[in-house]
Amino acid sequence: MFNRHRSSLVVTALACLLGLGAGMVAVSALGSAAPDDARAATTGPASQVSSSELLSYGG
């Protein structure tokens, strides 16, 4: 009985470690693909674009 309990704890611990590792990989992947908000806040847009150029409702 003790052996089964210990093996289930080992499996649970390994699953938690793998889950944390996968989460850290996902966070780093999303962080590297994110825009640089600090730079955008200081430089601003290159030029103003009217909304009618971006949104063409009904063609």
Q: What does the pLDDT profile of the chain (59 residues) look like in tens digits?
A: 567 788 899 999 999 999 999 999 998 888 777 776 666 666 666 777 788 777 777 75
Strands of the chain, DSSP E: none
pLDDT number for residue 47: 77
pLDDT number for residue 59: 58
Q: What are the backbone dihedrals phi and psi of residue 44, each rounded to the nearest 5 degrees, phi first?
A: 75, 180
Report the alpha-carbon distance of residue 17 to residue 57 in Å, rounded.
49
- pTM confidence score: 0.49
